[in-house]
Chain A
Amino acid sequence: MAKSIQEINEKIKKRKAVVVTAEEMIEIVREKGESQAAKEVDVVTTGTFGPMCSSGAYINIGHSKPKIKIGGGKVYLNSVETYPGFAAVDIYIGATALPPDDPRNKIYPGEFRYGGGHVIEDFVSGKDIVLTANAYGTDCYPRKELKTYINIKDVNEAVLFNPRNAYQNYNVAVNLSDKIIYTYMGTLKPRLGNANYCSAGQLSPLLKDPHYKTIGIGTRIFLGGGVGYVAWWGTQHNPGVKRAVNGTPLSPAGTLAVIGDLKQMSSNWLKGTSMLGYGVTLTVGIGIPIPVLNEEIAYYTAIKDEDIYTQIVDYSKAYPEGIPEIIGSVNYAQLRSGKIKIDGKEVPTGALSSYAKAREIATILKDWIQSGKFLLTEYVEKLPSSDSEYKFKPLNLREI
């Protein structure tokens, strides 16, 4: 018995919709089977809270008197570089941006205590941020310098816009070399000292809709504590990778570009993140509702950690050199148990993505929908799916 999103929305408005988290759905399907679950449950909520470098925010700071055109100039927020290459007073602050005088990895491993991700966290929490700008001056925009505080409540638009988030599955990172290495997957101890992973697994949005049957361009989502939307597919979207019989990819696959009003968001769900020896990034909370339109979707939303596999990659050689070599494959139940076996060796696991917070996001989104304040959307366009030709390509280096 198929349902439509419209029917589900009618139920949500009357506060009669049955909404469960992805973890709860697993139990329901285990007990009652997919067909009964599809009848009983209307919406399954998902969540993820992990570092996502391809994140940032654009801000329109408003015009000063006299006016300045910062496009073509230099602009800093709390000494962190922003990108002002737009019009007069629009800037984009990227999660990985740093102050020009940060020592980077000159003192190895660099600590990267403050950068773009932290500026976004401070800004969203309502703190005053120091803006400094230099520009060249024109007849219509004569001012050349600007130094002021800005605050999120005073600026015109403040919009979180992340070109790539919500990775559908991710690598497990290990270090086969004899020395410690510092990566975006965390600090990796030598000779398989630890194995770090980064996915909410059975709670992760795109793993619960592996073929993008309900999540698409225009889907309304939980983003950073506010309401956001899927704006496009994310950069490096790679739907065509090998998949298990249950449809989940066996390596990093689909991604989402997301957008939302930063003014509604909260620093609980947007956190500046310092990765030792690597840099700064932003940890972003995302939750996506999945309408249980039929049995097939009930089946996907109930896929368990035990049935989601990913690849183990050596970050001392294979990853940095771009060698497509895989050491092995594990599932998320094994990863979450705290140790996995690689070549007979027991290796302790660490995570970058917080499962506890992913669960909290799925629960908040469930409350929003149950209370009638969050309605589901139909996508306006499909994401390129596994049967499309869409591929993630390396850079073709050419002689100049």
Chain B
Amino acid sequence: MATRKIVLHFPPSIVNKPLIYKLTKEYDIEFNILKASISPEEEGLLVLELNGETTKLNNAIKFLEKENIKIQSLDQDIIHNLEKCTHCGLCVPICPTFAFEKNPVTHEINFIKEKCIACEFCVKVCPYDALTVNFAV
């Protein structure tokens, strides 16, 4: 048995397909939903912890990729570069998991890594290139 954490990005067009159901039914995978944000107009986001046999896991991921879902492994890390950060706070409200917090006294922005699911939304939003993706292999 193996465990993998992955982030799925759905295009709006396939939000209504019963894909996750197939994972259990056809690939014998157990899963935990760590985070889900799905609505018909926007890109859906699902963070899953998958448990299953390694071959079955790999097949399941291949199946999802065929369905046009962008898969991201959660081994990616977001790095908050304090040299570049201006502590503007633009990233604070856009993070789906509230991984940025403003210190009420210093008004500086702290990044709480444990909360981050590496969706990369903030990476593009930060105007000063202070948030980057570190790919751990």
Q: Do A and B bind each other?
A: yes
Which A residues have a C-beta under 8 Å from some C-beta of B? Answer: 49-51, 109, 111, 113, 178-180, 186-187, 189-190, 193-196, 271, 273-276, 281, 283, 336, 338, 347-357, 359
Listed from nearest, the 5 A-B pairs whose CB atoms lie closest are A194-B93, A348-B93, A356-B87, A351-B89, A350-B93
Docked-complex contact B102 and A189, CB < 8 angstroms: no
State which residues 85-132 of B face A: CB under 8 Å: 86-94, 102, 106-108, 124-125, 127-129
Give the total of B residues in contact with A, Cβ under 8 Å: 20
Q: Chain A residues with Cβ under 8 A from B75's Cβ?
A: none
Docked-complex contact B94 and A187, CB < 8 angstroms: yes
Query: What is the bound-complex CA distance between A356 and B86, given in angstroms?
Result: 8
Query: What is the bound-complex CA distance between A293 and B102, given in angstroms?
Result: 36
Q: Chain A residues with Cβ under 8 A from B108's Cβ?
A: 356
Chain B: CB-nearest residue to A189: B94
Q: Is B26 part of the binding interface, using a Cβ–Cβ cutoff of 8 Å? A: no
Q: Chain B residues with Cβ under 8 A from A195's Cβ?
A: 93
Q: Chain A residues with Cβ under 8 A from B107's Cβ?
A: 336, 354-356, 359
The 30 sampled A-B contact pairs (Cβ below 8 Å) are A49-B86, A50-B88, A109-B124, A186-B90, A186-B94, A186-B125, A187-B125, A189-B93, A189-B94, A273-B127, A273-B128, A275-B127, A276-B124, A349-B93, A350-B89, A350-B90, A350-B92, A350-B93, A351-B89, A351-B90, A352-B90, A352-B127, A353-B88, A354-B86, A355-B87, A355-B89, A355-B107, A356-B86, A356-B107, A359-B107
Q: Chain A residues with Cβ under 8 A from B53's Cβ?
A: none
Chain B: CB-nearest residue to A277: B124
A-B pair number, CB within 8 angstroms:
76
User: Closest approach, in angstroms, between the C-beta of A276 and any C-beta of chain B?
Assistant: 5
Query: What is the bound-complex CA distance between A187 and B92, given in angstroms?
Result: 11
User: Closest approach, in angstroms, between the C-beta of B57 and any C-beta of chain A?
Assistant: 32
Q: Chain B residues with Cβ under 8 A from A283's Cβ?
A: 86, 127-128
Query: What is the bound-complex CA distance between A109 and B93, given in angstroms?
Result: 19
Chain B: CB-nearest residue to A273: B127
Query: What is the bound-complex CA distance between A179 and B12, given in angstroms?
Result: 12
Q: Is B42 part of the binding interface, using a Cβ–Cβ cutoff of 8 Å? A: yes
Chain B: CB-nearest residue to A121: B128
Query: What is the bound-complex CA distance between A189 and B45, given in angstroms?
Result: 15
Extra A-B contacts (13), CB below 8 Å, given A194-B93, A274-B127 = A111-B124, A187-B94, A190-B41, A195-B93, A271-B128, A275-B127, A348-B93, A349-B92, A350-B89, A350-B91, A351-B90, A354-B87, A356-B86
Contact of B92 among A109, A273, A338 (CB under 8 A): A338
Chain A: CB-nearest residue to B43: A180
Docked-complex contact A179 and B42, CB < 8 angstroms: yes
User: Closest approach, in angstroms, between the C-beta of B84 and any C-beta of chain A?
Assistant: 9
Q: Chain B residues with Cβ under 8 A from A49's Cβ?
A: 86
Chain A: CB-nearest residue to B96: A189
